[in-house]
A = this chain, B = another copy of it.
Amino acid sequence: MIANISPLAPSYTPELPAIDGITLRTVCAGYKNWQRNDLSLFLFQPNTVVAGLTTQSACPSPEVEWCRAAIKKGKARALVVNAGNSNAFTGHKGREAVAAITARVADHLKCALHEVFVSSTGVIGVPLPIKTACDGLEKAFSAEDVNWEHMANAIMTTDTFAKMSRQDITIQGKSVKMVGIIKGSGMIAPDMATMLGYIFTDAAVAPELLQKMLTKANKKSFSCITVDSDTSTSDTVLAFATAAAGNPILSSEEDKDADKLQEAVTAICLDLAQQVVRDGEGASKFISVSVNGAVSDESAHIIAMSIANSPLVKTAMAGEDANWGRVVMAVGKAGQPAERDLLSIRFGGIEVAAKGMVVPNYDEAPVAAHLKGKEIDISVDIGLGKGQAQVWTCDLTHGYISINADYRS
């Protein structure tokens, strides 16, 4: 499938620095009949720690099951990412493929099995071919080192652009680098465009603290985006820290500069999450939905996601239509405390509805101009309390239908 680059792709691509303790390799294993790298191998120096989050799906891929268990051990020496075959819903054969990959890498590195992480993305229902994977690994073991951009490209499936982010911080006087790459653009079957995100840093940090920071960052980033409300069976975010920066190891949120590491993790997660939305299938608008005045932050989040997931709101934005009535509808159906006569709604900062009624004679010109742009702000004040939340989504267009309905598996 040849897709045009999303019109919402960032105009600027950051240059990503090498990170001490991490070696990057990518090769063409040949999961499909194509000439592109589709097996990526990230090698980490000993004592690298890992934290991670996986899909809540009750039907996860064997890779997700493997990672869920291995994350608990907190240590990592390698990550293998396969593109072109998700290995999801493949029963015992899928589990055997994961076992073969981890065994081969652990044997090569002389490390424990649980220090090897695996993700796969692509067609579902077809067991990952073990020989293809193992032959690919052999090639990767002796391949030349590459840079982050090669890796960001090699993990893509239906993505229309490579997604990368960086943060630079100082922890107790030591320069610390952080890099993130991610793939995902909604879900396209048979290439279920699973979201796979990876964060790499040379910070020295205890795995328990890194896990805590990633979990906190997730609440403000990956948990706040939606393309089509559907959840992949393989979504995974992993964070690796090599300790090569040489800062005194951080083990508590109270440690000096731990707040800086938290901020960097949150910032990189948010940037990566928003890039996924910007590559949403068929997206022509990047939409921010802010809710304040709810009874709690949780309530605000539920209302914001109700708006962001509403097909009617998303099609209205595609149509550049200041349809506040659909926003009222989405607030009303969220099942959260709300009072029609206290609600107010803004598009691009301009109040169009307030206190249960349209704002009489509001100036339509700036609203229309705002909706013609690529970046849309919808803001809702519930008027009941102090709870607030912000989430991001894209519009729902003919492009989404074409990608998902006009395709035959």
Contact = CB atoms under 8 A, between A and B. Distances in A.
Interface of A: 55-60, 88-91, 93, 124-126, 187, 189-190, 192, 228-233, 309-312, 315-316, 318-326, 328-341, 343, 353, 355-358, 395-398, 400-402, 404-409
Contacts of A91: 341, 355-357
A55 B189 CA distance: 35
Contact of A59 (B229, B329, B401): B329
B192 A310 contact: no
A8 to B, nearest CB: 17
18 contacts: A57-B329, A57-B333, A59-B331, A89-B357, A90-B357, A91-B356, A125-B324, A187-B312, A189-B312, A189-B316, A229-B309, A230-B329, A311-B396, A311-B400, A322-B409, A395-B405, A396-B401, A398-B405
A323 B58 contact: no
B401 A315 contact: yes
B58 A340 contact: yes
A322 B343 CA distance: 43
Contacts of A357: 89-91, 93, 125
Q: How many copies does the complex hold?
A: 2
A325 B189 contact: yes
A343 to B, nearest CB: 7
A57 B229 CA distance: 20
Contacts of A189: 312, 316, 321, 323, 325-326
Nearest to A341: B91
Given A230-B333, A332-B58, A325 B404 contact: no
B228 A312 contact: yes
Contact of A330 (B60, B190, B230, B343): B230
A192 to B, nearest CB: 6
A309 B333 CA distance: 15
A303 to B, nearest CB: 10
Q: Name, among A338, A395, A409, the residue most crowded by chain B CB atoms within 10 Å (CB to CB).
A: A409
Given A88-B325, A187-B326, 14 more contacts: A57-B329, A58-B339, A89-B340, A89-B357, A89-B358, A124-B325, A125-B358, A228-B312, A229-B229, A231-B332, A231-B333, A233-B328, A312-B404, A396-B405
A316 B406 CA distance: 8
Nearest to A403: B315
B60 A332 contact: yes
Nearest to A126: B358
